[in-house]
Structure 1
Amino acid sequence: MTNQIQLTAENIQQVLGDTSQEKLVALSFYSAQSPECQEQASILQGIAQQYQQHLVVATLDCDTQQALAGQLAQQIGLQALPTLVLLKEGAPVDMLPGPQSEVQIKEALQKHLPQPQDMLLQQAKDALMVQNHNEAFKLAKQAYDIDSNNSRIKLVLADICIQIHKLDDAKALLETIGLVEQDAYYNNIKAKLELAEQAQDSPEIQALQQTVDNEPENLEAKVNLAVALNEAGKKEDALATLFKVLNKDLNFGDAKKSYLDIIASLPEGDALAAQYRRKLYSILY
């Protein structure tokens, strides 16, 4: 659904009432006879595409909607074309009379739009909803880098970390949540973390580890242990175990494929992926 609309008598109540309750509305008074209006319309088109989730650009053509334009112009005290009126929750919050540059419009919008970290966090939640965990992690991490003291960002990032088996990171984030901020969402994530940690020490992994301890030269046992460790989310331990196998025999079974698959499963830019990619290169070349 587009966030650029033409304002008419039929949709004005919907746009200036209901829509402005959910999003910031930029009401543009426009005339095709004005070169300044045409130039500003082009700028607004680009801005609308950049803020699709949080902004609606509603253009009122003062040439074709003269009665409506006259009524609104009288209400706001319109004195020039183009004029841009920002509305939030049904009320005007800012007015920019006369031609405005892209920079000027964006500066005015930033006062009323969600902050960059809030938009990134929402995008992370959207990615999480469709099970795109690595994209969700990247976006939530960007939000965290902007505002590392925001408890909601930390909780969402911790939730994502659990789902991509970065349990140490999730635990570290939860430990920074103050008592006052430990709400139902916090308790839910904490419970998820405890279950994930229990799965990391399953009887199967204990038995496989015992086999490796008893037979240190058994490369097949090490590969089996690495597979189980990876499935339990212990990716670093799995990579370390597989690297020991590859260091002994670079072409042993599916060890190299499993190693590369684990690296590929890590989020873009993950330090662990870079570390173990370098380790592999050190024995390849």
Structure 2
Amino acid sequence: MDIIGPFPPAIGQKKFVLVAVDHFTKWIEAEPLARITEEVIVKFLWKNLLCRFGILQKITTDNGTQFQGRKTRELCAKWNIKQVFTSIGNPKANGQTEVSNRIILQNIKTKLGQHKRGWLEELPGVLWAYRTTARTSSGETSFSLVYGVEALIPTEITEPTIRVLRYEEGHNKEGRCLDLDLIHEKRCAARIRLENYKKRMIKRYSSRVKERPLQIGDLVLQKVEVQRPVGKLEPKWEGPYRVRTVQREGTYEPETLEGA
């Protein structure tokens, strides 16, 4: 679970989006927010997740105070939900949500063009497209892994598919029951494909990418939101900066070229 923003203020002064992604199905839930408070986090967990999908096994977030507050901890303790916090300076531990954030932002940019304040109206369509697009890793859509059947998408209305042309209410009910009977097998097959995909990606990465640790004095660009969050539809990098110190592997302290 993560928060993206700020975006240009939309209706109701909403400029943030709270995002939660299921680790296996990759189903995504998102809620536009005007403010980031512990109360809205608790409300989102209860309304969008627990009341719709049941009790969660664990929640992975960053170390933001809104995720560590008393009310959030009490909700998790009440329902025996384990809270996992990513290490400071190690956002990769919350990698699935980070990937989903990038996809949402890229789709919003593509749809909006220059009308950046219209992001709120575009968000539901972006989420719908994400949920009904097959993931390369699992070979399935998030929608089918959650509900056991593929969603009827707008394209199938303008260009009818076989299942639309052959729709019969009686047969549809039988087919739906069969889909629900087979949902466990579908999820098991998707999990196997997912594990095999991870292994292939690790092997490909190891064979093609040679990590290059930065040294003191190297010139780098810095991601803007690390230090001071700005509009997420604006450039994400600034610099150049010079590496001042190496704190640990993968974590560096930068300075300006003037030494500040």
Interval containing the TM-score (normalised by the shorter chain): under 0.3
Higher fraction of strand: 2
Q: Name which one, 1 or 2, has greater alpha-carbon Rg.
A: 1
| TM-score of the superposed pair, with normalisation by structure 1 | 0.24
TM-score by length of 2: 0.26
Asked which structure has the greater RCO (Cα within 8 Å, sep 6+), the reply is 2
More helix by share: 1
